[in-house]
Every structure is written in structure tokens, then in C-alpha cells.
Amino acid sequence: MSDTEGAVQENQLLTTARTRPVFGTFVIEFFSPGLPTLLKQAGADWVLFDLEHSGFGLDSARAPIAVARQAGITAVVRVPGPQQHLVSTALDAGADAIMVPWVESAADAERIASWIKYPPVGVRGSAFGIAGDQYVGGPAEAAQRAADARTFFLPQIETPNAVEEVDAIAALPGVDVPFVGPLDLSTNLGVPGDFTAPAVERALERVLEACAAHSKVPGIFAPTVSLARRWSDMGFRMVSLAADTALLRWAFADGLEAIRKG
């Protein structure tokens, strides 16, 4: 894909992320239709439905994706792996963005990015008047360009190979948010869960440098509030505050502690 072919209007969330961090969370357990609205009311900018580690399939995500679109919160789907049919069906279900795990190279990222945009930019198959365009339909060319403007791609940076390739990955016009999976990255660097290890810190700096060089939005999953603050202060702009399971546990534990102290 050339720079000219990739020149579509940027998604509003990405534009916002250039001026301030945008925060969301991963949904791993509670695929409830009402959850996106609750997160929006709490101040979230985006929500990710995780089909890699949750054990859920796309059917479970279709209703909350639809509600997210109505509520005005960006809906991201993490597909289980780099297969075109997993990407295309999530987009046709209404996902605003696609996250793909274990992207190892610029060649991997370029191939996956092509599945997200319509020709001539990419190779996405056309279907309109369905959930993906909120059943609007209309002239194909206008619908395709609107979808290209709305959708974006988050390749995950989780391995030493991906870190080595991150500058080339970030340089691709079809890549929008190089997104760090810190647990897998630290594990694959030989320091599982040690997010302040020098090797991890160097890898995070390389991601930030690559994103700055190519005007891309750096993203990361933060398992704790302190890490979300630390990494957003470092320069990460699309940050997940943990996942739904942790948020429920934290809130309930805090409430019980306050009651018992009272």
C-alpha cells in the first residue's frame, strides 16, 4: 500500500490521542450489551473485546459492539490470530478497530493491514446494509471510504523480533497504533512480569521512538493504575487500564474496605 492510497481521513479517536491519552479497558469476561455504555459513562474512550484469551467468539461480542457504536465509544476487537476471515467478520460485525496479536514483522503487519481497508488501499470484501455500517447501505464507493476512515489497525508488539521491526512496522501507512502487550513482551525478553527491567524499558523506548518518527499512536496494556500513569507519562497515548475482571475486583474490594473501616 502506498502513502497516496492510504490517505483516508483519520479516525477521531486517533486524532484525540495526539493531544491527550485515550483510556479504555479489555473485556475478557463480561460480554454484556450494557457494558460499553457503563464504561462510556465512567469516562472511557474505547473498549476492547478480547477474543484471544476470553474463550468467547464473535457471536458473544456482536451485541456489545452494536451498543458501543450507539453509545459513541470506540469498539476494538482483538482477534485470536492473523487470519483474514477473523478480521473481516469482526469488521462486518461493526468493530471500529482490529487488534492482532503476535505481529512479528513489517511484512506481517502490511498483509494484515490490507484486510482492513477496501480496494484500492486494501483487499477487504464489500458488504453493506449489515451491522458493519449500522444497516445503512447506500452507494458503495461512499460507504467504502467512510469505513476506511473509521477503521484502524493495532498490531501487537510482544516479541524481540517485533521490537527489532517496530520502526518498519510503524512506517506502514496501514498501521495506526503499535500496541505493546507487556506481559508477553517481558516474558519473551526473559523477565516475565518485570515491567521495569532494563530490557523492557529499552523495548518501550524503541516503540515510542518509532511511533514519534512516523506520527503513529503508541498503545499499551497497563495492568495497574500506577503503570497506566507511568506509561501515559512516558508517552503512550492509547492505554488500557487493566481488564473488566480486575476493575470489578478492585471496585468491590475498595467498597468492602471502606464499609469495614466504617
pLDDT for 262: 75
DSSP 3-state helix, strand, coil percentages of the chain (rounded to 5)?
Answer: 45, 15, 40
Domain 12-261 has CATH 2.60.40.290: no
Please say if the pLDDT value at position 5 is more than 80: no
Residue 7: strand, helix, or coil: coil
Q: Is the Cβ–Cβ distance between 137 and 16 less than 8 Å?
A: no
User: What is the H or E stretch that residue 61 is in?
Assistant: helix 58-71
Mind listing the pLDDT tens digit for each residue in 202-226? Answer: 999 999 999 999 999 999 999 999 9
With 90 as the cut, is the pLDDT of residue 158 above it? yes
164, burial (CB in 10 Å: exposed 0-12, middle 13-18, buried 19+) = middle
Catalytic pick from 18, 53, 85, 249? 53
pLDDT at position 10 is 83
With both helix axes pointing from N to C terminus, report the angle between 106-114 and 160-171 in degrees, rounded to the nearest 10.
50
Percent pLDDT > 90 in the chain is 93
SS3 sequence, 145-207? HHHHHHCEEEEEECCHHHHHHHHHHHHCCCCCCCEECHHHHHHHCCCCCCCCCHHHHHHHHHH
In this predicted structure, the answer to whether residue 91 has a pLDDT above a threshold of 50 is yes
> Is 53 assigned a catalytic role?
yes
User: Region 91-99: what's the mean pLDDT?
Assistant: 98
Q: What is the pLDDT of residue 3?
A: 40
Q: Which of 173, 178, 166 is nearest to 219 (CA)?
A: 178
pTM above 0.95, yes or no: no
Contact, 65 vs 134, CB < 8 A?
A: no
CA 49 to mean position of chain CA atoms: 9
Whole-angstrom CA distances from 103 to 72, 82, 143, 173 are 29, 8, 29, 16
Query: Any residues with CB less than 8 A from the CB of 84 and at least 6 apart, and which?
Result: 115
